[in-house]
Amino acid sequence: MRLVVDLNRCQGYAQCAFLAPDVFAMHGEEEALLYNPHADETQREQVLRAATACPVQAILVDDLGDVCEAPGAVREGLSGVQ
């Protein structure tokens, strides 16, 4: 699977690192977010939970359409996945 984090949007809340620690991690004194953009399919559920929990909807997952043009649709897609 593929995912991307919009780092302009990310506020470093670390919800993702808590919910999917194999994919997301906070790093360094500034708590910069590191993540695996090619997470394994077996981690999909964790990643979707993290994406749903992110307070600023910064985590975008591959099969949710054109995330750049339709951020509202992405949120609906994520809530429908659960």
For ligand SF4, the binding residues (CB under 6 A) are: 5, 10-16, 24, 33, 54, 56, 58-59
Nearer to ligand SF4, 12 or 77 (CB): 12
What is the DSSP track for 9-29?
T-----HHHHH-TTTEEEETT
Q: Phi and psi of 76, rounded to 5°? A: -65, -40
Q: Phi and psi of 8, rounded to 5°? A: -70, -25
Work out how close the CB of 18 gets to ligand SF4 at its nearest, in angstroms, rounded to a whole number. 8
Work out how close the CB of 14 gets to ligand SF4 at its nearest, in angstroms, rounded to a whole number. 5
Q: Determine the Cα–Cα distance for residues 49 and 34; give it in Å rounded to an integer.
A: 17
Nearer to ligand SF4, 24 or 39 (CB): 24
Nearer to ligand SF4, 21 or 65 (CB): 21
Work out how close the CB of 80 gets to ligand SF4 at its nearest, in angstroms, rounded to a whole number. 19
